[in-house]
A and B are shown apart, each in its own frame.
Chain A
Amino acid sequence: MLLQRFLIRLLTMAITLFGVAVVVFVVIRVAPGDPIAMMLPPGATDADIARLRALYGLDKTIVQQFFIWLSGVVRGDFGTSISLRQDVLGLVFNRLPATLELAIVALLMAVAIGGTAAILGARERGTAVEAGIDIASGTALSIPDFLWGLVLILLFGVLVPVFDISGRVSPQLDLPFVTQFYLFESVLRLRFDLTWDLLKHMLMPAVALALPLAAIIAQLLKQSLKEVLDLDYVVLARVKGFSETQVILREALKNAALPTLTLVGVQFTFLIGGTVIVERLFSYEGLGNMAIDAVINRDLPLIQGIVLVFALLFVLINLTVDMMYALLNPRLRHG
């Protein structure tokens, strides 16, 4: 049953990705303005333009172009970036780790902040503590990551300049890294000075991304915790002598977390979508920042590649959440 569920999800995943590819291809091809003309110096002849168009396959029909591109994609060839004149897949893989690290740090923060707030609010239910948590999460939820980023820049970049407000790492540092997972690798290499520098750059964009998600987790998890805490098996655990915190962590949390989990999956894709503008805001050299440059430069192959990678990331996250849900729920596992 688990396998069947997995296969069905895999099929819908493929359909979704194909749809994304079609949509982005069509959207880009209706663009007025000739990307080739932008690449050439003024005074280029028509023959030069035609030659370059042929080189990038732009002289064929849209349908032909699409299937040429798609067959390349299936073989792992995403084409060549027009503005950077490099292999698209290489460019994407070069930038993706920065975005993934940012998104994962933000997710961990959101879970930590939101989870703590939910547990605290559930333990202190009916008190001023809970009311305070409600107000804080309501506010955090209503303000999007873009604005949180600006607020943080003002507070901790200008007013109390403790964090760096642009870039991924201080440019004067010598980086010994062989992969693009700087944060991860700095920890493995025990270069905690570099870890700290990376974190100082990452912290504010990560918090900006994390706050709305933390608010959702706090609200949803607190609500389901409160529902679970009235159930008989929780009462029984209290009689056994466990403290309220132990009761929440051992008995209630897992069952209350299941409904939250599905939503966190969807929200994590929103968080990753948010990296596009937040990276721009903090001049963080990730995939989203490169995507905006690609759009401004009308770099069609690069835009297609980046959008498709984002889409792949999103469907993979949804798949993972779905499978985790099935695994954590004993009824589904044995059903």
Chain B
Amino acid sequence: MSATCLEIRNLSAVLANGQRVLRSVSLAVEPGEVRALVGESGAGKTMIGKAVLGVLPLSVRIVEGDMLLEGENLGRLSPKARRTLIGTRTALIPQDPLTALNPSRRIGPQMTDRLVRILGWNGERADQRIRQLLEEVQIRDPDRVLKSYPHELSGGMRQRVLIAAAFAAEPRLIVADEPTTALDVTVQKQILRLIAQLQREHGTAILFVTHDLGVVAKISQKVSVLYAGKVVEEAETAALFAAPQHPYTRALMAATPRYTDPLASLKPVDEAVLAGLAAEIAAADRAWRPRHG
């Protein structure tokens, strides 16, 4: 099947007070590809991930646009069918491993429940699958981990567990929502390498949400740069770093520390660039009318 894994067309969303959080966002993720969504906090990158997975907060409402998961238009499905489709074809690697595991349930059932209850596997097959994945994320004592409660594991261990659980069901698309931000710097690198390795081996497409251009360079093939809910630039990762087109992208790069010379190049995103963007977006907002809603 060569259908595009995820296609987002003209997605716009507003808050309850009418403020726009996504402005006609379009992007596509091909099978097996890692697409980075980069931007500052509040740029709407996490919103896109949540919109795809159908877990937007109650205060955010989609007012126009389509989302196609392997050719299926999510907006046209019944809520139940949409839930099942998302549950079988996608997975989420959450931002904070400390809050993403239920404190009152053991790790084992939390990892297998989707395989058994949504995908209908039998318990033994699910258990084998989970153990295989735990091995892949380099957890050496799966028996202990599966029997543990979340608070008995370190943050890095929990994120490994969550990564293993995400890949276990062989989803076509994983949304990774800043999966390294909440971790220690040393652990960050290991986790990032792990995600990249599993992604290659399993051939899973990833929508990788991050604010960190350094991470983008390491993991993704393509990048969408977001500002204020709008995609301002979209390119192959290598091309973007070689020749950023949009002034905001250039400003963002200038504001990112380089590992070679961390302090020399560090400066805030240029005020003039931001002012220009704000004016551009305000003008677009005035002209914008949602097609429905």
**B-binding residues in A (CB < 8 A):** 125-126, 230-233, 235-243, 250-251, 254-255, 328-331, 334
Decide if B30 is an interface residue (CB 8 Å cutoff): no
Write out, one digit per residue, whether chain B residues 33-75 have a CB within 8 A of any chain A CB (1) or not (0). 0000000000000000010011101100000000000000000
Q: How far is the CB of B238 from the nearest CB of chain A, in Å? A: 31
Bound form: Cα–Cα A242–B117 in Å: 9
> Whose C-beta in chain A lies nearest to the C-beta of B58?
A126
Q: How far is the CB of A119 from the nearest CB of chain B, in Å? A: 17
Contact check, B87 vs A240: say whether CB atoms are below 8 A apart: yes
Bound form: Cα–Cα A125–B84 in Å: 22
Q: Which residues of B contact A237 (CB under 8 A)?
A: 102
> Whose C-beta in chain B lies nearest to the C-beta of A234?
B102
Q: How far is the CB of A224 from the nearest CB of chain B, in Å? A: 13
Q: What are 15 pairs between A and B in contact, CB < 8 Å?
A: A232-B94, A232-B100, A235-B92, A235-B100, A237-B102, A239-B53, A239-B54, A239-B87, A239-B90, A241-B88, A243-B80, A243-B83, A251-B102, A254-B105, A255-B103
Contact check, B94 vs A236: say whether CB atoms are below 8 A apart: yes
Contact check, B58 vs A331: say whether CB atoms are below 8 A apart: no
A126-B58, A331-B151, A334-B152 given; A239·B104 CB < 8 A:
no
Which one of B91, B94, B99, B151 lies within 8 Å of A330 (CB-CB)? Answer: B151
Bound form: Cα–Cα A329–B151 in Å: 12
Write out, one digit per residue, whether chain B residues 205-216 have a CB within 8 A of any chain A CB (1) or not (0). 000000000000
Q: Which residues of A contact B149 (CB under 8 A)?
A: 330, 334
> Whose C-beta in chain B lies nearest to the C-beta of A252?
B102
Q: Which residues of A contact B113 (CB under 8 A)?
A: 240, 242, 250
Q: How far is the CB of B223 from the nearest CB of chain A, in Å? A: 24
Within 8 A of A (CB), among B147-198: 149, 151-152, 162, 175
Bound form: Cα–Cα A331–B175 in Å: 31
Q: Which residues of B contact A328 (CB under 8 A)?
A: 104
Contact check, B100 vs A241: say whether CB atoms are below 8 A apart: no
Q: Which residues of B contact A125 (CB under 8 A)?
A: 58
A232-B96, A255-B103, A330-B104 given; A241·B86 CB < 8 A:
yes
A236-B94, A334-B152 given; A241·B99 CB < 8 A:
no
Contact check, A239 vs B86: say whether CB atoms are below 8 A apart: yes
> Whose C-beta in chain A lies nearest to the C-beta of B175?
A239
> Whose C-beta in chain A lies nearest to the C-beta of B53?
A239
> Whose C-beta in chain B lies nearest to the C-beta of A231?
B99
Contact check, B102 vs A233: say whether CB atoms are below 8 A apart: yes
Q: Which residues of A contact B104 (CB under 8 A)?
A: 254-255, 328-330
Decide if B95 is an interface residue (CB 8 Å cutoff): yes
Q: Which residues of B contact A232 (CB under 8 A)?
A: 94-96, 99-100
Which one of B87, B88, B162 lies within 8 Å of A242 (CB-CB)? Answer: B87
Q: How far is the CB of A230 from the nearest CB of chain B, in Å? A: 8
Decide if B250 is an interface residue (CB 8 Å cutoff): no
Q: How far is the CB of B167 from the nearest CB of chain A, in Å? A: 13
A239-B53, A239-B55, A330-B151 given; A233·B88 CB < 8 A:
no
Q: Which residues of B contact A334 (CB under 8 A)?
A: 149, 152
Decide if B118 is an interface residue (CB 8 Å cutoff): yes
Decide if B114 is an interface residue (CB 8 Å cutoff): yes
Bound form: Cα–Cα A255–B105 in Å: 10
Bound form: Cα–Cα A243–B81 in Å: 11
Within 8 A of A (CB), among B91-128: 91-92, 94-96, 99-105, 110, 113-114, 117-118
The interface centre, meaning the residue of A240, A250, A251, A331 with most chain B CB atoms within 10 A of its CB, is A240
Q: Which residues of A contact B58 (CB under 8 A)?
A: 125-126
Q: Which residues of B contact A240 (CB under 8 A)?
A: 87, 91, 113-114, 118
Q: How far is the CB of B150 from the nearest CB of chain A, in Å? A: 9
Q: How far is the CB of A52 from the nearest CB of chain B, in Å? A: 61
Bound form: Cα–Cα A126–B58 in Å: 9
Q: Which residues of A contact B84 (CB under 8 A)?
A: 241
Contact check, B151 vs A241: say whether CB atoms are below 8 A apart: no
Q: How far is the CB of A207 from the nearest CB of chain B, in Å? A: 32
Bound form: Cα–Cα A331–B149 in Å: 9
